A and B are shown apart, each in its own frame.
Chain A
Amino acid sequence: MQGLIDFLSQGGYAFYVWSAFGMTFALLIAEALVLRRSRRTILQRVGRLARLRMQNVPPGEHR
């Protein structure tokens, strides 16, 4: 337990050390999540467009 507290306090420089490391990994993880979400959104949109086209292309069969 004391070891953990010592580790987290970084010799009293916790604010600087964790601000730097925290921002770094928050941004990198955020970028990865944004990329995954935008991929889903794009796939959905492309899928919707393709569906619309499918409904229009074969003439006669559909309303």
Chain B
Amino acid sequence: MKINWFKYAAPTAFYPLAGRLVPVLAVAAAALVLFALYWGFFETPERLGGTNPQKEYYRIIFIHVPAAWMSMWLYLVLAAWSAVGLVFNTRLSFMMTNAVAPTGAIFTFLALWTGAFWGRPSWGTYWDWDPRLTSELILFFLYIGFMALHSAIDDSRRADRAAALLAIVGLVMLPIIYWSINCPDPNNCAALHQRSSLTDIESNILTAMLVMTLGFWLYSFAAAFARLRNIILLREQDSAWVRTMVDAAGAGGPANAGGGDALDANRRGVSA
């Protein structure tokens, strides 16, 4: 995998590759999410039983758990690219961190938001200083802090390194979130979240949840690659390859209308 990435470590090489991947990933993500929504709402029981007699609101699990997983995985991706960037000083790695961070922040916010609307009907509260809720909130602040720190520093290379450092230090939150439900006896802890296991989930519920997770993954890749292309364009706008590429895009078709076309027409006019 690493070798593969090094091959595309130059923005020049990665830009067109990402451009080809984005629509494919986006379509696949949409298909998976729609399937998961259908399965979650029409192929699952309306209510649960036994020690967890939840009603229809348990369906929030289909977005809550995938969003919470994404918030952690994307942070891992963010920290990993930060580390690669700091060690190898590769431009693309830092651009990757900036491409991932907003999507990660969105999923973290969604985990908190959907959790609130699940917690209210089931536990009886939108918010509680439960260890897991608190640590997830700190993760959200870390994402925001990463983006704020990066945009606060004018020199992009310094910004890259400072934000990357923050991302790596913030990595400490992931094990904390993961083990924040580690309570030996659930009835002797204030924690509202409980230990979970995939084997305790009915197969239709599990199907919808896991397909949604896969859809969110593909969506994250699509969004990150699309943002990466924007970042590459912005940062490399003075380079020759971007100029020729903008021209080519303008001549290529209506997809990138506006600027590209005008530019191309103007250029022809000039050289004529």
Contact = CB atoms under 8 A, between A and B. Distances in A.
Do they bind each other? yes
A27 B57 CA distance: 20
A23 B233 contact: no
B31 interface: no
Contacts of A40: 256, 258-259
B142 to A, nearest CB: 19
B149 interface: no
Interface string B234-272: 100100001100110110000010111011001100100
Interface in B204-248: 219, 222-223, 226-227, 229-230, 233-234, 237, 242-243, 246-247
B96 interface: no
Nearest to A18: B117
B255 to A, nearest CB: 10
B110 A58 contact: no
B231 to A, nearest CB: 9
B270 A19 contact: no
Contacts of A17: 56-57, 59-60, 117
Interface string A23-54: 11001100110011011101111111111011
A23 B118 contact: no
A55 B262 CA distance: 14
Given A42-B230, A50-B246, A21 B63 contact: yes
Q: How large is the interface on A (under 10, 10 to 19, 20 to 34, 35 or more residues)?
A: 35 or more
B113 A23 contact: yes
Query: Looking at A24, A48, A62, which has the most chain B CB atoms within 10 Å of its CB?
Result: A24
A47 B47 CA distance: 56
A59 interface: no
A10 B246 contact: no
B245 to A, nearest CB: 9
Nearest to A49: B237
6 contacts: A10-B56, A35-B230, A43-B249, A46-B259, A50-B263, A54-B266
Interface of A: 7, 10-13, 15-17, 19-21, 23-24, 27-28, 31-32, 35-36, 38-40, 42-51, 53-55, 58, 61-62
Interface of B: 26, 41, 46-47, 55-57, 59-60, 63-64, 67, 102-103, 106, 109-110, 113-114, 117-118, 120-121, 219, 222-223, 226-227, 229-230, 233-234, 237, 242-243, 246-247, 249-250, 256, 258-260, 262-263, 266-267, 270
Given A43-B260, A49-B237, 14 more contacts: A10-B56, A11-B46, A16-B117, A20-B113, A20-B114, A23-B113, A24-B63, A32-B26, A32-B222, A32-B226, A35-B230, A42-B237, A45-B259, A46-B233
